[in-house]
């Protein structure tokens, strides 16, 4: 029992030291290769921790090897922009000039629901208020609101607050969410009329549509895919 305790304590110290050397990033800010190294280090430590028949050094050496590899890759990324792009990738613009970049969503295997969830976490409840949205290489979303939609502190301006309800999504990737039509107080006939004004004949042709708290419809048509 004492041997297990000592081995666990040693491996714990080695893993914590290795993670501290890797840097002070939060889990959500780790690059893909850094996350892979972190997972592999934890796995390498758990094997000799559970099996006392495996020499302790057989767990420590692979951990130190992974740490050295991670430091080397980080150093290369620091010195070379091209290597950094290959290793970490590039940020992807999901919304540009208020327009949803449908092709980028397909390339990144990113869904509209993922985008809406991250926008809500940033207190943005209407996609129509977004000028630019950039998916960083760490998976975090950076958002630039449209002019006039940036946050202000009402107390500093001596303004009374007005409640603004979140936008209601009514069409996502061609699928009409009928129950949300009632929530948005939008009838099918009104929706069809609004779509025709935008020269859209069917909801199947809509990539995304939502109704804001002001009753205004935000709608974007699907992009036409090129056939080879």
pLDDT of residue 45 exceeding 70: yes
| Helical pair 81-88 and 57-79, crossing angle rounded to 10 deg | 130
Check: CB of residue 218 under 8 Å from CB of residue 210.
yes
Phi, psi of 207 (to 5 degrees): -80, -45
Mean pLDDT calculated for residue range 160-174: 77
pLDDT digits (tens, 9 = 90+) for 63-99: 888 888 888 888 888 788 788 778 778 889 999 999 9
pLDDT of residue 51: 80
Q: Which residue has the tokens 């997972």?
A: 39
228: confidence class by pLDDT, cuts 50, 70, 90: very low
pLDDT of residue 47: 81
pLDDT of residue 207: 92
pLDDT of residue 27: 54
Cβ neighbour number for residue 2 with a 10 Å cutoff: 6
User: Which residues are registered as beta bridge partners of 19?
Assistant: none
Global pTM value: 0.66
**What structural domains and CATH numbers belong to the chain?**
2-87 (no CATH), 90-162 (3.30.240.20), 166-223 (3.30.240.20)
Out of 32-41, 59-68, 214-223, pick the least confident. Answer: 32-41
Write out the DSSP string of the chain.
Answer: -HHHHHHHHHHHHHHHHHHHHH-S--GGG--HHHHHHHHHHHHHHHHHHH-TTS-THHHHHHHHHHHHHHHHHHHHHHH-HHHHHHHH---EEEEETTEE-HHHHHHHT--HHHHHHHHHHTT---GGGEEEEEE-TTS-EEEEEPTT-S---HHHHT------PPPEEEEETTEE-HHHHHHTT--HHHHHHHHHHTT---GGGEEEEEE-TTS-EEEEEPPPPPP-
Of the chain, the percentage scoring pLDDT greater than 90 comes to: 28
The four Cα atoms 56, 58, 60, 62 give a dihedral, to 10 degrees, of -170
pLDDT digits (tens, 9 = 90+) for 138-158: 788 999 998 877 665 555 555
């Amino acid at each position: 029992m004492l041997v297990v305790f000592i081995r666990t304590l040693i491996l714990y110290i080695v893993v914590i030291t290795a993670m501290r050397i890797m840097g002070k990033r939060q889990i959500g800010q780790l690059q893909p290769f850094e996350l892979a190294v972190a997972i592999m280090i934890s796995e390498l430590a758990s094997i000799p921790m559970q099996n006392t028949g495996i020499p302790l050094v057989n767990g420590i050496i692979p951990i130190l090897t992974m740490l050295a590899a991670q430091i080397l890759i980080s150093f290369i990324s620091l010195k070379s922009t091209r290597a950094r792009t290959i290793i970490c990738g590039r940020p992807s613009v999901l919304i540009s000039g208020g327009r949803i970049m449908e092709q980028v969503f397909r390339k990144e295997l990113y869904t509209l629901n993922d985008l809406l969830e991250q926008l809500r976490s940033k207190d943005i409840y209407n996609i129509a208020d977004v000028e630019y949205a950039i998916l960083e290489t760490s998976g975090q979303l950076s958002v630039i609101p449209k002019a006039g939609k940036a946050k202000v502190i009402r107390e500093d301006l001596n303004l009374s607050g007005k409640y603004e309800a979140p936008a209601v999504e009514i069409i996502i990737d061609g699928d009409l969410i009928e129950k949300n039509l009632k929530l948005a107080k939008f009838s099918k006939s009104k929706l069809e009329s609004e779509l025709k004004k935008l020269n859209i004949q069917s909801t199947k042709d809509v990539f995304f549509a939502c109704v804001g708290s002001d009753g205004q419809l935000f709608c974007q048509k699907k992009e036409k895919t090129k056939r080879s």
